[in-house]
Amino acid sequence: MSATVENRRSEEMIKKAKKQSPWAIARRKLFSNKLAMISLGFLVLVTILAYLAPVIAPFDPYRVDIMNRNASPSADHWLGTDNSGRDILSLLIYGGRTSLTIGFICMFAVVIIGTTIGSIAGFYGGLVDSLLMRFTDFVMNFPYLVFVIVLASIFREAGIWALILVISSLGWTGAARVVRSKTMSEKENEYVMAAISIGGTPFKVIRKHLLPNVMTTIIVQATLLLAVMIVAETALSFLGFGVPAGTPSWGNMMSEARQPHVIRTMWWVWVPPAMAITLTILAINFIGEGIKDAFNPKSTR
Amino acid sequence: MLLYTLRRIVIMIPILIMISIVVFALALAMPGDALSGQIDPSNTKPEYIEEMREQLGLNDPVHVQYGRWAAGILQWDFGRSFVHRMDVTEAIGQRLPNTILLSVLSLLLTYVLAFFMGRYAGRHPYTIGDYGIQGLNYLMLAIPSFVAAIFAIFFFSFQLGWFPATGSIGSGVTPGTMEYYLSKLKHAALPAIVLGMLTTASYTQFLRNDIIENAQKDYVRTARAKGTPENKIYNKHILRNSIIPIVTLFGFDIGSIIGGAVIIETVFTYPGIGELLITSIGRRDSAVVIAITLMLSVATLVGNLIADLLYGVIDPRIRVE
């Protein structure tokens, strides 16, 4: 009697397991990955704090206070003040908003450009593919950072949107290549041929049939790209070619540390943004690894 | 192999021309006179600028200007630097040895560190040592180079005093002596370590995973069955197979080092061409900016070519098209 109950239960479980979509399996795997979940929690927390900046920041980040320049951490200013007396903690929170926003926008732009070019090249193949890929290789030949710096210096007056345009217009090549190779292998499947044979237009086949199957690759790429884009923005701002000086951003905060005496004596000016950048990138990398692992059918974690 | 090499080099020529056109377009968009560097950027009188532009042929059609500029470059004439009051080639030539020293040292450190860490972690996977190396790797991959550079200056230069924080040479050292070379090396060491960090982390990871994967292959089992000592299996059989893929990445390193050097040299105020690029942009010394941009693009292209060629050496299938 109990044996049949056991049997039925296990049969049900198998049925349940079979019913699970790849997405559900991946989600379950991701949720059980402690490191990725802690990282996700951290990233969400940082994002929420950054976007609540006007509510939680103790001071106005633009408020210059000549009397309180370069003050070390105190009860009033938890993380001290910078060269012009601005509160570091408030700058950090507002700066997070700038850096994360630019990072997210650039990531979306890069993913959209890369996915479009990659999927078109992979789907059509032939002449279209070789033209688009030659173009991608060509853009790849430029030293990324050098060109971004030179372009950003030319368009320095044009503000944040020009910066976003510059960062993303050169950063899509890797994503395009990955999406292309994935699309090419996915295209060989019968369901694509079936979709074409019943008269699906190329656009519809790519959007409805190919992209959902390439999505896992795109998501992993997007996570890793988010980290790259945040680094690009902070590095550019650090060098003075990014977000306009005066606007709070993690990179602009770090640029104070270009003077040796700041590094030597005023740790509270550069350690907070340095830690914020590093921990954010670390968290994003762990989430990316977690997602990659979750979608990998070979991993049994 | 020779045919393959020649073919790769021939393919490079049209790409070089296209790159030069892009750089030329940048030059036209830059403030001041980026093509010859003859116009004083601080003199803003319209008559002066107009007269100089006419004299230098900057009002000619674009293709005429491009032809003149490209012909100049083929004759090794990159114009003049207004800030340094010398030819651009000379200004770059003064800085180039420093950047080369930094890059070579960085590559050397990268390979040595990655080799030992990767070998250890691959041979003892899932032990405390391996986890330590993996943790370090994650940190090195996550921390942006300029942040790492500032931490390195803080700890190793200011707190411990092991390395100088800025410059490329100590004061009052006579060139040519032993002391001079040691001082140069000491100044380049810290930037080189930071510069090589990212590649070190990825190579270590690569080598570790490859060793672990290879250790389960049949040829290793055969070697074990024959009674080959474990040391020999790892050092001779596995390592030789695992090290090959890393060698091919050497060419791509040139590209990543170029980008990194711009930032690292600026943080350490190390007088190399990366630092020259940044200061020249700040001083609107456009001719220098354009020359360095072109030079670094060509260097990246050559790096990719080397990577391709090395790949062809190692994997003969690539050579047949």
For every one of its 301 residues, what pLDDT tens digit does chain A have, with 9 covering 90 and above?
455 666 666 666 666 666 677 788 888 888 888 888 999 999 999 999 989 888 887 777 777 777 777 777 776 767 777 777 778 888 888 989 999 999 999 999 999 999 999 999 999 988 999 999 989 988 888 888 888 888 888 887 777 888 899 889 888 998 999 999 889 888 888 888 888 889 888 888 888 888 888 888 899 889 989 999 999 999 999 988 888 888 888 988 888 888 887 787 788 888 889 999 999 999 999 998 888 888 877 765 4
Domain shared by A2 and A49, yes or no: no
Q: What is the domain range of residue A76?
A: 32-295
Among chain A residues, CA nearest to B255 = A143
Name residue B305's amino acid.
L
A257 chain-B contacts, CB cut-off 8 A: 150
Among chain A residues, CA nearest to B166 = A260
The DSSP code sequence of B56-83 is HTTTS-HHHHHHHHHHHHHTT---EETT
B307 chain-A contacts, CB cut-off 8 A: none
Name residue B143's amino acid.
I
Q: What is the pLDDT of residue A19?
A: 67
First to last CA, chain B: 12
Rg (CA), chain B: 24
Task: List the Cα angle B7/B12/B13 in 5-degree steps.
Answer: 105
- In three-state form (DSSP H/G/I as H, E/B as E, the rest C), the secondary structure along chain A is CHHHHHHHHHHHHHHHHHHCCHHHHHHHHHHCCHHHHHHHHHHHHHHHHHHCHHHHCCCCCCCCCHHHCCCCCCCCCCCCECCCCCEHHHHHHHHHHHHHHHHHHHHHHHHHHHHHHHHHHHHHCHHHHHHHHHHHHHHHCCCHHHHHHHHHHHCHHHCHHHHHHHHHHHHCHHHHHHHHHHHHHHHCCHHHHHHHHCCCCHHHHHHHHHHHHHHHHHHHHHHHHHHHHHHHHHHHHHHCCCCCCCCCCHHHHHHHHHCHHHHHHCHHHHHHHHHHHHHHHHHHHHHHHHHHHHHCCCCCC
Domain shared by A100 and A44, yes or no: yes
Domain shared by A10 and A86, yes or no: no
Contact between B296 and A143 using a beta-carbon 8 Å cutoff: yes
Contact between B150 and A263 using a beta-carbon 8 Å cutoff: yes
Per-residue pLDDT tens digits for B29-75: 877 666 666 666 666 777 777 777 777 777 778 888 888 888 888 88
Contact between B26 and A150 using a beta-carbon 8 Å cutoff: yes
Q: What is the pLDDT of residue A299?
A: 65
Domain shared by A55 and A132, yes or no: yes
Distance of alpha carbon A281 from alpha carbon A228, whole angstroms: 8
Give φ, ψ of B263 to 5 degrees. -75, -50
Q: Where are the domains of chain B?
A: 2-87, 96-318
Contact between A260 and B165 using a beta-carbon 8 Å cutoff: yes
Q: What is the pLDDT of residue A1?
A: 46
Rounded to an integer, what is the distance from CA B86 to the centroid of its chain?
25
Residue A205 belongs to a domain with what CATH number? 1.10.3720.10
Domain shared by A7 and A89, yes or no: no
Mean pLDDT of chain B: 83
Rounded to an integer, what is the distance from CA B229 to the centroid of its chain?
40
Number of domains comprising chain A: 2
B139 chain-A contacts, CB cut-off 8 A: 278, 282
Among chain A residues, CA nearest to B143 = A278
Inside any domain, residue A301: no
Element at B86 (helix H, strand E): strand B86-87
Q: Is B87 helix (H, G, I), strand (E, B) or coil?
A: strand
Write the ipTM: 0.83
Rounded to an integer, what is the distance from CA B103 to the centroid of its chain?
6
Structure-block tokens of residue B182 = 């040691």
Domain shared by A134 and A272, yes or no: yes
> What's the DSSP call for residue B280?
H
A18-48 burial, b if ≥16 CB within 10 A, otherwise e? eeeeeeeebeebbeebeebeebbebbeebbe
Q: Which of B17, B146, B252 would best serve as a mutation to test chain A binding (most A beta carbons within 10 A)?
A: B146
Structure-block tokens of residue A13 = 């479980």
Inside any domain, residue A238: yes
Domain shared by A58 and A95, yes or no: yes
Inside any domain, residue A154: yes
Contact between A150 and B262 using a beta-carbon 8 Å cutoff: no
> What's the DSSP call for residue B284?
T
Mark out chain B residues that contact chain A at CB-CB < 8 A: 15, 18-19, 22, 26, 29-31, 138-139, 141-147, 150-151, 153-154, 158, 165-166, 255, 258-260, 262-263, 266-267, 277-278, 281-282, 289, 292-293, 296-297, 299-301, 304
Domain shared by A53 and A25, yes or no: no
CA atoms within 13 A on the CB side of B262: 29
B262 chain-A contacts, CB cut-off 8 A: 145-146, 149
Domain shared by A106 and A23, yes or no: no
Contact between A235 and B277 using a beta-carbon 8 Å cutoff: no
B96-318: CATH class:
mainly alpha
Structure-block tokens of residue A126 = 């032939």
CA atoms within 13 A on the CB side of A236: 31
Distance of alpha carbon B31 from alpha carbon B49, whole angstroms: 12
Let me know how long chain A is.
301
Inside any domain, residue A113: yes
A250-286 burial, b if ≥16 CB within 10 A, otherwise e? bbbbbbbbbebebbeebbbbbbbbbebbbbbbbbbbb
Name residue A82's amino acid.
D
Domain shared by A19 and A153, yes or no: no
Residue B2: CB partners within 8 Å, gap ≥ 6? Answer: none
Among chain B residues, CA nearest to A281 = B142
Inside any domain, residue A83: yes
Distance of alpha carbon B119 from alpha carbon B140, whole angstroms: 18
Contact between B278 and A239 using a beta-carbon 8 Å cutoff: yes
Asked whether the CA dihedral A42, A47, A50, A53 is positive or negative, the reply is negative
A62-71 burial, b if ≥16 CB within 10 A, otherwise e? eeeeeebebb
Is A295 an 8 Å CB contact of chain B?
A: no
Chain A, window 240-259: residues with a beta carbon less than 8 angstroms from a chain B beta carbon: 240-241, 254, 257-258
Domain shared by A218 and A267, yes or no: yes
Task: List the Cα angle A143/B149/B262 in 5-degree steps.
Answer: 25
- Highest average pLDDT, of A259-263, B145-149, B179-183, B284-288, comes from B145-149
Contact between B158 and A264 using a beta-carbon 8 Å cutoff: yes
Cα separations in angstroms, A224 against A199, A289, B53, B208: 37, 9, 47, 21
B259 chain-A contacts, CB cut-off 8 A: 143-146
Per-residue pLDDT tens digits for B121-131: 998 888 998 99
Give B320: exposed, middle or buried? Use CB within 10 Å, 0-12, 13-18, 19+. exposed
Residue A24: CB partners within 8 Å, gap ≥ 6? Answer: none
Domain shared by A64 and A195, yes or no: yes
